[in-house]
Amino acid sequence: MAQKLIYTNHVAQELDRLVEAIAPSNIVVIVDSNTKSFVLPRMQAESEAIAKASVIEVAPGDANKNLESLSSIWKQMQEAGCNRLSLVINLGGGMVTDMGAFAASTFKRGVKFINVPTTLLAAVDASVGGKTGINYNGLKNEIGVFNEADAVIISSTFFNTLNDQEKLSGYGEMIKHALLSSKEEYESLLKHDVTNIDPDKMLELIKSSVAVKEKIVTEDPREKGLRKALNLGHTVGHAFEELSIERKSPIPHGYAVVFGIVCELILASKKAGFPNAEVTRFASYIKDTYGVFPFTCKEYDRLIALMHHDKKNKNSDEINFSLLEAPGTIVLDCVASDDEIKEAFDLYRELSGE
């Protein structure tokens, strides 16, 4: 991967060093209202680069990762006098890094940007790998480009502002990476209590986790093949996430992913030889740690319709999955019929004790 990943708990120091090397004509820092309150003041005190940066604030939450917010970023970049030699620093969760990176990638056909993820979810997933973009007309990440940050500063120092749910959400993507990597990584991850890990140990775990994604993205930056492995859990997970939004009680992304992984491991046990006993054990771990996603058989059709809309499906009459034969052994492009998916839903609900 061309981008520079820097793991550190001395963020301000590393950031200032990077900015000095880049020597931009001016700097803007993009924050949402949360990071503006909880992270920016500290960074302004500690980092020379952030202290002199123009601040661009966006409203928080995935619902605001839209064209209106993007356009307001562009306008404020103009007002701040940005040119091709400007630098954008994205300081926030995945919503800020996705949209801020897209704004930087398109302003005057691209200026440099550095991601400083402030949530566990963004640190292990969104901020790394070059996917940028916004939601559009009801579809997630519909508009964007592939473009890697000049650097990503990954740290665990901001996580004291996160609640347990936010930590578990990020840990969901780490569990996914571990499953894609090896039995050892996966076994090891299930032993930790993410709500109570010290920052240095956490940084070490993040580093191993991002290395899994990094390896895959380096081989296939544009998602033509192997990168689809990173969709593990996301085909079903996105449908759960969308349904939860339709019900007006949205679940965190990483929760949707782990619930999705359970369903997709059930499918994998049927279609790719993933061991049954391991499915049961994993489902029980997830239930104990994350709870379950409750739904009835009346909602199966809606869930399947949502999956058909998922952009990863080439044709709308089949649903594609990245499945596992075992932890670390990936089988891409498995097609499942609607009936097979419904059968997996039945089993998921049974394992959930619904």
- Where does this chain bind its own copies (CB under 8 A)? 25, 67, 71, 74-75, 78, 81, 83-85, 105-110, 131-133, 136-137, 139, 141-147, 222, 311, 313-316
CB of 37 or CB of 71, closer to its own copies: 71
Which two tokens mark 187?
A: 């076994």
Q: Which helix (H) or strand (E) holds 142?
A: strand 139-143
Show Cβ contacts of residue 205 under 8 Å, excluding neighbours closer than 6 positions. 174, 189, 192, 197
Specify the residue, 44 or 141, whose C-beta has the smaller distance to its own copies: 141
The CB-of-124 to its own copies minimum distance in angstroms stands at: 20
Q: How far is the CB of 332 from its own copies (least distance, A)?
A: 15
Nearest approach in angstroms of CB 97 to its own copies is 15
- CA-CA distance, 70 to 32, in Å (whole number)? 12
Taking the complex as a whole, how short is the minimal distance between the CB of residue 153 and its own copies, in angstroms?
24
Which of residues 78 and 165 has its CB atom nearest to its own copies in the complex?
Answer: 78
Q: Which is nearer to its own copies, 129 or 254 (CB)?
A: 129
**Least distance to its own copies from the beta carbon of 110, Å?**
6
Q: How far is the CB of 223 from its own copies (least distance, A)?
A: 8
Contact at 8 Å (CB) between 110 and 132? no
Sign of CA dihedral 297, 299, 302, 306: negative
d(CA 285, CA 178): 15
Residue 175 tokens, joined:
């569990």
Residue with smaller CB distance to its own copies, 45 or 85: 85
For residues 108 and 192, which CB has a smaller minimum distance to its own copies in the complex? 108
State which residue, 38 or 146, has the beta carbon closest to its own copies: 146
DSSP calls for 271-335: HT---HHHHHHHHHHHHHHH------GGGHHHHHHHHHHSTT-SSTTSEEEEEEEETTEEEEEEE
Tell me how crowded residue 155 is: count the other CB atoms within 10 A of its CB: 21
Closer to its own copies at the Cβ: 109 or 191?
A: 109
CA separation, residue 134 to residues 61, 79, 103, 137, 229 (Å): 12, 22, 10, 10, 22
Give the β-pairing of 134-136 and 139-143. antiparallel
Structure tokens at 5: 């990943």
Measure the CA–CA gap between 343 and 281, rounded to whole angstroms: 19
Report the C-alpha gap between 69 and 231 in whole angstroms: 27
* CA 25 – CA 185 distance, rounded (Å): 43
Closer of 136 and 285 to its own copies (Cβ): 136
